[in-house]
Amino acid sequence: MDLYTIINVAILLILLLFLQFLNKKHVKFSNRVFIGLGLGILLGLVLQLIYGADSATIGNTVPWYNIVGTGYVKLLQMVAMPLVFISILSAFTKMKLGANLGKIAGFILFILIGTTAISAGVGILSATVFDLDASELVQGESEIARGETLEEQSGTVASLPEQILTLFPANPFLDLTGARATSTIAVVIFAAFLGFAYLRIVRKDEETSKTIKKGIDAIYSLVMGIVTIVLRLTPYGILAIMARTVATSDFAAIYNLGKFVIASYVALIAVFIIHLIIISLTGLSPIMYLKKVSETLLFAFTSRSSAGTLPLNLKTQTDRLGVPEGIANFAGSFGLSIGQNGCAGVYPAMLAIMIAPTVGINPLDPGFIATVILIVAISSFGVAGVGGGATFAAIIVLSALDLPVALAGVLISVEPLIDMGRTALNVNGAMVSGVTTSRLTGELDKEIFNNPNYDKELA
């Protein structure tokens, strides 16, 4: 390790110690999160200006920064699958939820899939307004290589019936490891079967059901204890993640593909506004909602991991928004792999509109637009909640439309930047589904939601 790398690592350690000092001074958790974000951006910019994104020093520094940043995300991913499993299972032990199970699951799925279809429409509109055309994009060696990889992956994409079959948990223990792209939804299905089995036992053997409930509640408390410990590391993780992201960003590539980046964020922001409109239509304050979800969305933005954000997602819904645990567990867990508005909605729809002219298809043809929206909505099932989910969704949609997948490779240089916004939108969609469902079923604790002083710490 050279001298400059040692200095860079030492600076990070000093900033981490500063955050720890703020913690000992009892500075509010949310304030420490935003301070960590600001310090990370500043450190990244300084490193970028001094060394350059492609320098050997940055290359040597990033692995050390990843110990804190990527390590933190891995800890969250570590607890994500157990949390999905026990959250769904514990939802069934709530007797009130058991009585309304079909209605609650129906509302959540309808909102998640419905908003994904709307997101596809917004993506199509944005790509059209900005006149995006993939044929105008210039491909370098890395983009061509990426395109070839996508072409190879598209050759392995299964038919729709086969894709539906992959959702089923043939080996739930394998899926608990997250080994497959559809592992999350498979774990949800497995936990749901156990939940229905529990409800049968409640009707036939009340004493046994009480014992099972105690065991489930104990495991849920244990998992949430781990979640709380990991969440306390959020300010440190965000600092390191942002420092690495900014220091390694290719600003020249971002400039060259600036129109696509701008069009993407216009679409993402438009869908986010639609989310707020949905909140307001239920009679709730979108301003109050924004205030209470900002930390969670910030982490989703920086980490680019919907699965890693799940613990924050659930605690925000229950502790700050007044969503019952059962509904929050369903909304958060389903939102990991169904109806991701950013990755499975906006992104593949924009790519379809961009790529269509290269094969002589009129992207404004009503039939083509309707087909894109339908395929996007259907293919949103089983999209992984970790990095790469958007690529997986794009391959499915473009393959189903018989469009060249390779052209999507040209966007590789700006993928990380756009993926930040997509992930935040995914997580927000899950929280909106939880809040809206709670409101529609009359189970939302409005006192918690509407109380501006009720801002319970997430960690």
CATH value at residue 175 = 1.10.3860.10
| Burial of 270 (C-beta count, 10 Å sphere; 0-12/13-18/19+) | middle
- Asked whether the predicted pLDDT for residue 340 surpasses 70, the reply is yes
pLDDT band at 218 (very low <50, low <70, confident <90, very high): very high
3-state secondary structure of 405: coil
Tens digit of pLDDT for each residue in 173-212?
888 887 776 777 788 889 889 988 998 898 888 889 889 9
Distance (Å, whole) CA 174 – CA 55: 41
For the chain, the average pLDDT equals 84
Q: Is residue 183 part of a domain?
A: yes
Please report, rounded to a whole number, the percentage of residues in the chain having pLDDT higher than 90.
39
Distance (Å, whole) CA 95 – CA 349: 40
- Rounded to 5°, angle at Cα 326 from 322 and 332: 80
Predicted structure pTM score: 0.79
Q: Longest Cα pair distance anywhere in the chain, in angstroms?
A: 70
277 closest CA partner among 154, 118, 140: 118
Report the pLDDT averaged over residues 408-426: 79
Q: Is residue 456 part of a domain?
A: no
Q: Is residue 252 part of a domain?
A: yes
- Asked whether the predicted pLDDT for residue 99 surpasses 70, the reply is no
Q: Is residue 458 part of a domain?
A: no
What is the span of the domain harbouring residue 148?
3-450
Those residues whose C-beta lies under 8 Å from the C-beta of residue 71, and which sit 6 or more positions away, are 237
341 closest CA partner among 303, 403, 411, 393: 393
Separation of CA 202 from chain center: 35
Q: Is residue 459 part of a domain?
A: no
pLDDT at 97: 52
Tens digit of pLDDT for each residue in 16-27?
999 999 999 989
Q: Is residue 457 part of a domain?
A: no
Number of domains forming the structure of the chain: 1
Tokens encoding 114:
């419905």
Tokens encoding 308:
């890693």
